[in-house]
Amino acid sequence: MYKQIIRPLLFLLSPERVHSLLLSALRCYSHLPFVRSWVRRYYKATDKQLVWNQLVFKNRIGLSAGFDKSAEAFNELSDFGFGFIEIGTVTPDSQPGNPKPRIFRLPKADSLISRTGFNNPGLDVVKRRLEYKTDAYLLGVNINKNPGSEKEEVVNDFLWLYAGLYSLADYFTLNWGSIEATLMHTVLETLTDFRNKQKNYRPILLKIPADITTEGMDAVLHCIQAYKLQGVIATGPTMDRSNLSPYTTARLEAIGAGGVSGKGIGKKSIEAVKYLRSHSERGMLIIGAGGVMTPEDAKQMLAAGANLIQIYSSFIYEGPAIVKNMIKAIH
């Protein structure tokens, strides 16, 4: 029903318009307890729990950062079967992001091209919203600096976010490549020093881009070992458009800059997971993300060495039932 009726109607509107309407609908839905109870039962699927480093993931399928950038509907989204949800990217100050249009659907390739930037309402607003989180799932927060911050300001930005949300999040994610490597080392040292002084433990993960080299992954693994980080998310979008063959070069050039997510990532994320698993310590957490569009993709990602899976584009193209279908396939 979703792909035959609902999706064609939604795709008549711009991606951000649909996203805005969806979030509004979820806010209304939050006030309908009987409907929410039915939705939870309908989308529930049994999967083995993953217990890792004091965190208990009720299932292995999560929602990637980027869908709920502003922490507006994380509780409601969890009703659709996700075992964990990651919000953000969150910056210290509110950001408008890049000019619109900035998200483009490529349905013939089951992909998206986006250049949203870090549009979000900032730390203070997100912090107030996260205070309403329930305990039914795990919540991660993807954090980054303000666009104009430099050097010491960058370190302070990350520390402000990490400390400000420390009691509200279950884990944190930093995007590898968002700042230069030397500065990333300083940031990680500062965050781990802060964490070592806390009573509770909040894991830090690094999210790598799809176009990372093997040398880049070696550098990531070195950081994980040096600062006793907990794992990696592989991967984010790619700049490579070679897997978007249903579309002409002229069409893709007309869209302009942006990263490719969805099926257009190809096998980059799976290859990254394979490399990371074969070159890392056994206890390192790997979350496979990027290009996981079908239940079969989910099985392949776990077979490559991922412990958990994050999805985004498949939730848009396949509909909410994809979570339940993936859990059934991997159980």
Catalytic residues: 178
* 8 backbone dihedrals φ, ψ, rounded to 5°: -60, -35
- Rounded to whole angstroms, how far apart are CA atoms 279 and 217? 9
Q: Quick one: how far is CA 172 from the chain centroid?
A: 11
**Structure token pair of residue 121:** 């309402």
Strands 103-106 vs 111-114: parallel, antiparallel or unpaired = antiparallel
Query: What angle, rounded to 10 degrees, do the helices at 33-43 and 15-29 form?
Result: 110
| Inter-residue contact 258 to 102 (CB < 8 Å) | yes
Cα 95–Cα 100–Cα 106 angle in degrees, nearest 5: 120
Helix H or strand E encompassing 330: helix 321-330
Helix H or strand E encompassing 285: strand 285-289
Strands lying side by side in the sheet with 103-106: 103-106, 111-114, 259-262
**Structure token pair of residue 225:** 């070992």
